[in-house]
């Protein structure tokens, strides 16, 4: 009897194990089937967009694409067609708050708004421009969206797509018919819009079917950029490079810069630039800040007057960075040419609110950014002072280098020239 019971239990356990194995195998096979279906669907959609994306990849434009909230399917389509490396410099998904703040450089008021999409496109354009290794046209494409999710959502399901190039910005504001599609359906509509926008941004005609229904709304707003100088004065541009009479927003700045007011430019400025070029073996430009710590901003007419002094062979860089700390943040890794009198101020706590700690923090950040100051001597009360006369704090000697008196000396200043006129 006991043997029979144990045999029955053994058979029952064996049957149970068999049933569980069948259930598990069935589950695995079902998952594999579903994955295959997703894989097939994805490739079918890539195939349906292949012709459009091949056209994009055949253009000379180089893009950085940044999407948040929706648009990842478009990124997959773009990267899934051969030739993506010719077009896509970088694709980003700054989804979390810290990631978005890091990408933009500040915290946006809303994660899914027209302004955030514009800011993302501008940041993407800047990244594209900074990564170019040739004269290809850089473009920035972005999406800031809030669409269907796995829980009821208050408010509209909407997406903002922004396309940015050197000429202007196009903003697509899409409001989706809430409840008409699931998340995958809304994601596809937004991704179609992104491909459409990138085709137009790349100078192509677009026949992408957007699948917009009567319940959806799509508004398109095109804005041309202001002049480079107006962009700088309004804060839209961080700097403007002036070379050969041409103004370029956030163009490539020279490896070394001589900051000054250049009112007027004199032989001392040009002699110092020549000495630095000879010593460093790199191009040196003139940096003019249109704002000043203790003076009103320069008027446009005055800026143009000062720029007119430079020859076509000289490069000027306009900024709104009135302090060296700001200049160093704007142009990391650059060398700044300064006189002894300016170098003294760089290591004087009174120029940091009489706070030695703040001064040390600022010097440390500049050192970490690869900033360097090349110091030229100046006459002070009949004595020629050089870098040796600057009390550089311990640990920061690497920030400073010198131009010897034999390499450059010019006892003249813009102040003296203005006084003599």
**Residue 266 token pair:** 């004199």
Q: Do the domain assignments include residue 18?
A: no
Q: β-pairing, 88-92 with 62-68? A: parallel
Q: Of 224, 243, 270, which residue constitutes the final position of a domain?
A: 224
**Are the C-beta atoms of 78 and 201 separated by less than 8 Å?**
no
Looking at the fold, whether 294 and 206 belong to one and the same domain comes out as no
State the Cα–Cα distance between residues 236 and 54, nearest whole angstrom.
34
State the Cα–Cα distance between residues 198 and 62, nearest whole angstrom.
11
Place of tokens 């062979």: 313
Looking at the fold, whether 171 and 184 belong to one and the same domain comes out as yes
Contacts of residue 190, Cβ cutoff 8 Å, sequence gap at least 6: 70, 71, 73, 74, 143, 145, 147, 159, 161, 174
Looking at the fold, whether 168 and 273 belong to one and the same domain comes out as no
Angle at CA 293, nearest 5°, toward 233 and 368?
90
Contacts by residues 304-310 (CB-CB < 8 Å, ≥ 24 positions apart): 304/229, 306/261, 306/262, 306/263, 306/264, 306/265, 307/242, 309/262, 309/264, 309/265, 310/242, 310/265, 310/286
Looking at the fold, whether 216 and 234 belong to one and the same domain comes out as no
Looking at the fold, whether 126 and 250 belong to one and the same domain comes out as no
Q: Do the domain assignments include residue 7?
A: no
CATH number at residue 82: 3.90.950.20
Q: Do the domain assignments include residue 13?
A: no
**Are the C-beta atoms of 143 and 68 separated by less than 8 Å?**
yes
Looking at the fold, whether 217 and 349 belong to one and the same domain comes out as no
So what's the pLDDT on residue 421? 55
Q: How distant, in Å, are the alpha carbons of 20, 207, 319 from that of 311?
A: 84, 48, 19
Q: Of 185, 204, 224, which residue constitutes the final position of a domain?
A: 224
So what's the pLDDT on residue 101? 95
Looking at the fold, whether 157 and 278 belong to one and the same domain comes out as no
Looking at the fold, whether 193 and 67 belong to one and the same domain comes out as yes
Q: Do the domain assignments include residue 245?
A: yes
Looking at the fold, whether 57 and 190 belong to one and the same domain comes out as yes
Name the phi and psi angles at 55, rounded to 5.
-65, -40
So what's the pLDDT on residue 411? 77
Q: Of 224, 253, 277, which residue constitutes the final position of a domain?
A: 224
Looking at the fold, whether 274 and 208 belong to one and the same domain comes out as no
pLDDT < 70 stretches in the chain: 1-47, 412-421
So what's the pLDDT on residue 413? 63
So what's the pLDDT on residue 25? 57
**How many CA atoms within 13 Å lie on the side-chain side of 191?**
21
Q: How many domains does the chain have?
A: 2
Domain that holds residue 271: 229-420
Angle at CA 340, nearest 5°, toward 336 and 342?
60
Looking at the fold, whether 352 and 413 belong to one and the same domain comes out as yes
State the Cα–Cα distance between residues 383 and 403, nearest whole angstrom.
17
Q: Do the domain assignments include residue 409?
A: yes
Q: How distant, in Å, are the alpha carbons of 3, 180, 347, 375, 402 from that of 369?
A: 82, 51, 17, 18, 19
Taking only the tens place, the pLDDT of each residue in 131-178 is 998 889 999 999 999 999 888 778 899 999 999 999 999 999 999 999
CATH number at residue 392: 3.40.50
So what's the pLDDT on residue 39? 42
Q: Do the domain assignments include residue 109?
A: yes
Looking at the fold, whether 215 and 121 belong to one and the same domain comes out as yes
């Amino acid at each position: 009897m006991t043997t029979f019971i144990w045999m029955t239990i053994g058979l029952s356990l064996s049957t149970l194990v068999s049933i569980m194995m069948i259930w598990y195998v069935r589950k695995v096979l079902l998952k594999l089937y579903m994955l295959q279906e997703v894989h097939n669907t994805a490739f079918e959609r890539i195939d349906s967009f292949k012709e459009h994306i091949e056209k994009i990849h055949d253009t000379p434009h180089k893009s950085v694409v940044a999407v948040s909230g929706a648009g990842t399917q478009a990124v997959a389509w773009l990267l899934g067609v051969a030739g993506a490396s010719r077009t896509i410099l970088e694709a980003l998904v700054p989804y979390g708050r810290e990631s978005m703040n890091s990408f933009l450089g500040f915290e946006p008021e809303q994660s899914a708004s027209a302004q955030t999409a514009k800011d993302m496109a501008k940041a993407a354009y800047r990244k594209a421009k900074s990564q170019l290794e040739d004269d290809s046209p850089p473009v920035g494409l972005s999406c800031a969206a809030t669409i269907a999710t796995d829980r009821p959502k208050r408010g509209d399901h909407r997406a903002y797509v922004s396309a940015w190039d050197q000429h202007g910005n196009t903003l697509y504001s899409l409001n989706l018919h809430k409840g008409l599609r699931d998340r995958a359906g809304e994601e596809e509509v937004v991704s179609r819009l992104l491909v459409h926008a990138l085709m137009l941004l790349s100078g192509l005609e677009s026949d992408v079917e957007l699948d917009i229904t009567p319940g959806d709304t799509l508004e398109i707003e095109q804005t041309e950029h202001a002049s480079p100088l107006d962009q700088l004065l309004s804060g839209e541009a961080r700097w403007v490079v002036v070379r050969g009479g041409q103004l370029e927003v956030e163009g490539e700045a020279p490896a070394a810069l001589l900051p000054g007011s250049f009112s007027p430019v004199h032989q001392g400025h040009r002699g110092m630039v020549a000495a630095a070029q000879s010593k460093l073996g790199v191009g040196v430009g003139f940096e003019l800040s249109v704002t000043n710590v203790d003076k009103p901003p320069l008027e446009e007419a005055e800026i143009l007057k000062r720029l007119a002094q430079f020859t076509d062979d000289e490069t000027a860089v306009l900024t709104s960075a009135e302090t060296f700390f700001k200049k160093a943040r704007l142009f990391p890794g650059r060398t700044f040419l300064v006189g002894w009198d300016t170098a003294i101020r760089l290591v004087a706590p009174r120029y940091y609110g009489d706070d030695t700690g703040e001064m040390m923090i600022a010097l440390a950040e500049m050192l970490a950014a690869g900033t360097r100051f090349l110091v030229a001597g100046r006459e002070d009360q009949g004595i020629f002072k050089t870098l040796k006369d600057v009390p550089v704090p311990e640990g920061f000697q690497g920030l400073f280098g010198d131009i010897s008196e034999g390499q450059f000396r010019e006892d003249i200043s813009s102040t003296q020239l203005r006084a003599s006129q």
